[in-house]
Every structure is written in structure tokens, then in C-alpha cells.
């Protein structure tokens, strides 16, 4: 499968993570020049080396999305290295196991946990979009992919901060698509459902995993590469008429009737 991103310069934030690394690999396979940007600088360096050994152009940059100066350094390094930026895949998010345990409902929300979540997922993504737009607007072309989550679409008993931070990302995506569409810049959001990365599954109790699997319309949970294919399609020339949208890649988890799993058992046995 070929996507038209040949020669494009792409930044993938969280590029050393589960979904991000698959996106980096797909961009590299399709001829893009890849900036693997991650707070885990060593893992980012390893991936960039892997991409180069496969014949691609790739560099890594250590970046902390919670730190504005660090984000600006990412863009300065990209410009110094490649002289332009065509695509940004804003994929990084605060997903630590400790935060996943603490991010419950609003009654018990620690203000600092709320702020830490928004600092990376929403504020960090906003700053990255702004810095990308500063490069893309003058040349009247560019593509922004923001990563939200299907949890941004519905209420849940936990992850109130994470869900709200991702819902804000969806609205920011529409704002950018609207303000900068006529300047040749497209902006879309991808909304993964539970995806089989170690980070997502490692701390998930078996019962919760089975619950999500039952509520997923496909016979399987997604893999990181399933999300990466949506990202690279939206980034490619093939998606040139698509902007301002929020696409869930969640096996249909977010679209069905409430009680789907129980109803299915009732009607199908
Ligand atoms: N995997 C899922 O089930 C799932 C579901 C819904 C949405 N998502 C979203 O998909 C994206 C990728 O998730 P993943 O599952 O690949 O997670 P992951 O933990 O494997 O990857 C996230 C990457 O972001 C990096 N990162 C974390 N904080 C950072 C910071 N402050 N600055 C820079 N980099 C930072 C991490 O080092 C990591 O490499 C995230 O935005 C996540 O919210 C994932």
C-alpha cells in the first residue's frame, strides 16, 4: 500500500511509543523524512537509527510536550535539519501507569493531576500546532494530525481528566481546520480505541479487557499499525479533501447501541 508522502518532512511526537513508532515506520516506508520526537530520547534515537538502516531519512529529538521551550527546540531542530515541515502527527500523551490509577472521577480529582494531563495532551498539542502553523502558513501547505481518543466521545466512570483533555483536542482540530483551510492546511483528529500497545494493556485487568473486547464490533482489538494507517492516510495527498474531521479507529466501540454486548447475548444466545 503506497501513500503519497514521498519527500515530506514529518514530525511524530511520542514517536518512540506504540502507535507513534508504527506511524514513523509507515512514513519512512513511504519515503517521508521522519523526525522521531519523544521524551524517551533513547528509544527515539534507536527508532531513528532503525529507520535509517532501512534506507530512510530520519532523526530523533528529545522533547517534553509539557515544556514550551522544549517544544520550540523541536521545531528549531527540524528546520535546521530539513529546512521545512510538511506534516505533524501530534501523538504524544501523558499515559503513565501512576496517572492512569489516579485519573478517576471529578469528585476525587487532584487539581495537579488535571493540570499535568492538560499540560501534555492539550496545551502541548496546542503549542505544537501553533509552531507547526508558523512554518506551514507562509508556504500555504501542511497537514496536522491530532490524536484524541474514543474516550473523548462518551462519559466514563474513570479518566475524567484524560477524556476532557482529548475532547479539547477534537475541538482544537476543528478550529485549526476552519482558520487555516484556505491557507492550504488540513487538520484532522484520530480517535483510537483500546489498542494493543504494551502501555495500554500492561496494567489493564483481564476483566476490563474482556469488557472492552465484548463492546468492540470487530472480532479483535486493534494493533498500533491499525491507527498508523489512518494517520498516514490522513497525512497523504490521497486525503486532500478531508479536513476538520474526527475519525475513530476503535472497531466501532463508540457507535453502537448502549447494552450492545448484553443484547447480542440475548438475541444470539
Ligand atoms: N493505545 C490505546 O489504547 C489508545 C487509545 C486511545 C488513544 N490513544 C492515544 O494514542 C496516542 C499514542 O498512545 P500509545 O498507546 O502509543 O502510547 P505509548 O505510551 O506507547 O506512547 C506514547 C509516547 O508518548 C511519549 N510521551 C509521553 N509524555 C510525553 C511528553 N511529555 N513529551 C513527549 N513525549 C511524551 C512516551 O514516551 C511514549 O513514547 C496517545 O495520544 C494516546 O492518548 C491510545
pLDDT per position as a tens digit, 26-39: 999 999 999 999 99
Distance 121 CA to ligand 1 centre (A): 9
The per-residue pLDDT for 198 is 61
Is residue 147 within 6 Å of ligand 1 at its C-beta?
yes
Give the CA radius of gyration of the chain. Answer: 18
Is residue 65 within 6 Å of ligand 1 at its C-beta?
yes
Percentage above 70 pLDDT, the chain: 97
Closest CA to ligand 1's atom 25: 14
Q: Is 3 a catalytic residue?
A: no
Mutate to test the pocket of ligand 1, among 18, 43, 191, 203 (most ligand atoms within 8 A of CB): 18
Going along the chain from its start, the domains and CATH numbers come out as 9-268 (3.40.50.720)
Cα(241)–Cα(186) distance, integer angstroms: 9
The per-residue pLDDT for 201 is 66
Distance 82 CA to ligand 1 centre (A): 25
Mean pLDDT across the chain, nearest whole number?
Answer: 96
- Whether the CB-CB separation of 144 and 186 falls below 8 Å is answered with yes
Distance 83 CA to ligand 1 centre (A): 27
Is residue 39 within 6 Å of ligand 1 at its C-beta?
yes
What residues pair up with 249 in beta bridges, in sequence order? 192
Distances (CA, A) of 103 to 89, 98, 114, 241, 244: 25, 9, 8, 37, 29
pLDDT per position as a tens digit, 185-208: 999 999 999 998 766 666 778 898
- Expressed in angstroms, the distance from the first to the final Cα of the chain is 39
pLDDT per position as a tens digit, 100-147: 899 999 999 999 999 999 999 999 999 999 999 999 999 999 999 999
Cα(36)–Cα(19) distance, integer angstroms: 12
Give the mean pLDDT of 238-255. 98
Buried b / exposed e across 213-245, counting CB within 10 Å, b at 16+?
A: bebbeeeebbebbbbbbbbbbbbbeebeeebeb
Distance 24 CA to ligand 1 centre (A): 13
Cα(117)–Cα(103) distance, integer angstroms: 9
Mutate to test the pocket of ligand 1, among 13, 16, 17 (most ligand atoms within 8 A of CB): 17
Q: Which residues contact 227 (CB under 8 A, 6 or more apart)?
A: 19, 22, 23, 190, 192, 195, 249
Closest CA to ligand 1's atom 23: 14
Helix (H) or strand (E) holding 211, with range, is: helix 206-215
pLDDT per position as a tens digit, 208-240: 889 999 999 999 999 999 999 999 999 999 999
Amino acid at each position: 500500500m503506497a501513500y503519497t508522502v514521498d519527500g515530506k518532512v514529518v514530525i511524530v511526537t511520542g514517536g518512540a511509543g506504540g502507535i507513534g513508532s508504527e506511524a514513523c515506520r509507515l512514513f519512512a516506508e513511504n519515503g517521508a523524512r521522519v523526525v522521531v520526537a519523544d521524551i524517551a530520547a533513547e528509544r527515539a534515537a534507536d527508532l531513528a537509527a532503525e529507520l535509517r538502516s532501512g534506507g530512510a531519512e530520519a532523526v530523533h529529538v528529545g522533547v517534553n510536550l509539557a515544556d514550551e521551550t522544549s517544544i520550540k527546540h523541536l521545531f528549531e531542530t527540524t528546520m535546521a535539519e530539513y529546512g521545512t515541515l510538511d506534516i505533524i502527527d501530534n501523538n504524544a500523551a501523558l499515559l503513565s501507569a501512576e496517572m492512569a490509577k489516579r485519573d478517576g472521577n471529578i469528585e476525587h480529582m487532584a487539581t495537579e493531576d488535571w493540570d499535568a494531563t492538560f499540560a501534555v495532551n492539550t496545551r502541548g498539542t496546542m503549542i505544537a500546532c501553533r509552531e507547526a502553523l508558523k512554518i506551514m502558513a507562509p508556504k500555504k501547505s501542511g497537514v496536522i494530525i491530532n490524536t484524541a481518543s474514543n474516550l473523548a466521545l462518551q462519559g466514563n466512570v474513570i479518566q475524567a481528566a484524560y477524556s476532557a483533555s482529548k475532547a479539547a483536542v477534537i475541538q482544537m482540530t476543528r478550529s485549526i481546520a476552519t482558520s487555516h483551510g484556505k491557507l492550504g492546511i488540513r487538520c484532522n483528529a484520530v480517535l483510537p480505541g483500546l489498542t494493543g500497545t504494551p502501555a495500554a494493556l500492561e496494567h489493564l485487568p483481564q476483566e476490563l479487557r474482556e469488557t472492552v473486547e465484548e463492546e468492540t464490533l470487530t472480532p479483535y482489538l486493534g494493533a498500533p499499525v491499525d491507527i498508523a494507517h489512518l494517520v498516514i492516510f490522513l497525512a497523504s495527498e490521497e486525503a486532500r479533501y478531508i479536513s476538520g474531521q474526527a475519525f475513530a479507529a476503535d472497531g466501532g466501540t463508540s457507535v453502537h447501541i448502549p447494552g450492545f454486548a448484553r443484547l447480542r447475548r440475548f438475541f444470539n444466545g
